[in-house]
Amino acid sequence: MISIYSIMCIIDIMQIVKEDASFRQRALAALGVSVIADTLDYFAAPLFSTPLIGDIFDSFITGLLYSITKSKLSTAINMAEFIPFIGDLIPIYTLSTLMWISKESKNYKRIERYQVDHYKNRINTDIASKIRRQLKRLIL
Q: Is 119 within 8 Å of 100 (Cβ atoms)?
A: no
Tell me which residue range forms the domain holding 99: 4-104
Bigger pLDDT: 1 vs 41 = 41
Question: Has residue 38 been placed in a domain?
Answer: yes
> What single-letter DSSP state applies at residue 3?
-
Question: Has residue 139 been placed in a domain?
Answer: no
Question: Has residue 90 been placed in a domain?
Answer: yes
Say what the pLDDT of residue 49 is.
73
Q: Is 58 within 8 Å of 49 (Cβ atoms)?
A: no
| Overall domain count for the chain | 1
Per-residue pLDDT tens over the stretch 84-123? 777 778 899 999 999 999 998 887 666 666 655 666 666 6
Is the C-alpha dihedral spanning 63, 25, 9, 91 positive or negative?
positive
pTM above 0.85, yes or no: no
Question: Has residue 112 been placed in a domain?
Answer: no
